[in-house]
Amino acid sequence: MAKSLLLYGADLFQSHLIVKIFVLFFTALVSFYLGMNWNDVSPQLVFFSRGGGGGEDTGGLSAPSVSLSPNSKITFDSNSVVTDATPPIAAPPPPLDLTSPPPTKQGVGIVDGNGTMRVDFDEGEVDPSDGWDEGNAGVNETAAEGGKEGDKSIRVKIDKFKACPKNMSEYIPCMDNEEAIRELKSTERGERFERHCPQEGKGLDCLVPAPEDYKKPIPWPQSRDEVWFSNVPHTRLVEDKGGQNWISREKDKFKFPGGGTQFIHGANEYLDQISQMVPEIAFGNRTRVALDVGCGVASFGAFLLSRSVITMSIAPKDVHENQIQFALERGVPAMVVAFATHRLPYPSQAFDLIHCSRCRINWTRDDGILLLEVNRLLRAGGYFVWAAQPVYKHEEAQQAAWKGMS
């Protein structure tokens, strides 16, 4: 019985071995057939085997050898395989043109009564009769460039205004509207110094002339110290403020020593004193934009420019009506503006510093409403510099103002 089992196992083992040998032989035959009939553009078959290769390795086995298929000498482009499997690389974007400026953003807006820029305004309808010379309208005999012969175009009439009388060389329509000023119910709070522009149809129909013998202004920075007398032909300030080192006249020029009511020895020394009292004010660093109220001839703003501070100098048109003209002639930004009953035409938080040196404004009236306007204009952490001069210390109004502000 045991002997028969052994014989059966041996037969089973031999049958499995025959199957393995058959599978190995069939695989070799198929591989050889594929190698013989491989097309020219396909990669060559490489066969690895052991034996017949010369030396032996340390394990006693023959060294591995390589057998190539019969088409081993046929070459092919290996890049074609990579190209077929790899998507095409996109071309790089063209270089940026840094020579031409970027497109500018076009925008239109208006400043409302609160000094805020707005874009929600209504555009009035165009009246075809305004500015059109219908009597002279006709066909343009010359064809426009790129157009067809006979194209029609409308001729526009441009009205020419004559010059106003010479005695109106300092006329400001919204400040010298005597008719509107006479109709004011009160002038106690400086209403007469505010803007009162003419109503529609009552505006000027002439051009305000320049002063007689007006010359080309002296350029900055020389204009800080002198301007032509003929451009601002007034001597009222020389007579009233000559002793305070504001302004003097030398031949055909006005000279500006740089002084003022508060700073007789010069604006630079005055600015140094402010910096010593309040080092944090840091002109040109922390403080960059200033408003000078009651500017006089604008020496304060003129000398701040050298400290990298841009200053808007303002004053009303009063008995010293030419002070704003002096500021503009010197090259200092200036406007005819008054602290009275309306907000100033500047946006909120526009200034780092607001300066008032003998500006003749009652800051404490109406429960300090003007100080609220100062607070609106100042940026967070800004400074309000108010100076009252010893030369006026005996005036009761100044003493009351000091008490009210303290």
Domain segments of the chain as ranges:
164-209, 222-405
Number of H helices, E strands in the chain: 9, 14
CA distances to 186, 270, 362, 388, 396 from 402, in Å: 26, 20, 10, 8, 10
Query: How many C-alpha atoms does 221 have within 13 Å on its Cβ side?
Result: 7
Tell me the CATH number for domain 222-405: 3.40.50.150
Peptide bond into 316 cis (omega under 30): no
Q: What kind and span of H or E run contains 110?
A: strand 110-111
- Which amino acid, one-letter code, is at 236? R
pTM equals 0.60
pLDDT by 10s per residue, the chain, length 406 = 545 544 555 555 556 777 778 778 888 877 777 766 655 444 554 554 554 444 444 444 455 555 555 555 656 555 554 545 555 676 777 776 666 666 655 556 666 766 676 777 665 555 555 444 444 433 333 333 444 445 556 666 667 788 899 888 888 999 999 999 999 999 889 999 999 999 888 888 899 998 889 999 999 999 999 999 999 888 776 666 655 667 888 889 999 887 666 676 788 888 999 999 999 999 999 999 999 998 888 889 999 999 999 999 999 987 665 688 889 999 999 999 999 999 999 999 999 999 998 788 888 889 889 999 999 999 999 999 988 666 566 677 767 777 777 7
Q: What is the DSSP letter of 48?
A: E
- C-alpha to C-alpha distance for 369 and 380, rounded to whole angstroms: 19
Nearest to 230 by CA among 216, 247, 209: 216
Burial class (CB in 10 A: 0-12, 13-18, 19+), 362: middle
CA distances to 31, 59, 66, 234 from 50, in Å: 17, 13, 9, 118
- Residue 151 near residue 140 (C-beta atoms within 8 A): yes
User: What is the radius of gyration, based on Cα positions, of the chain?
Assistant: 47
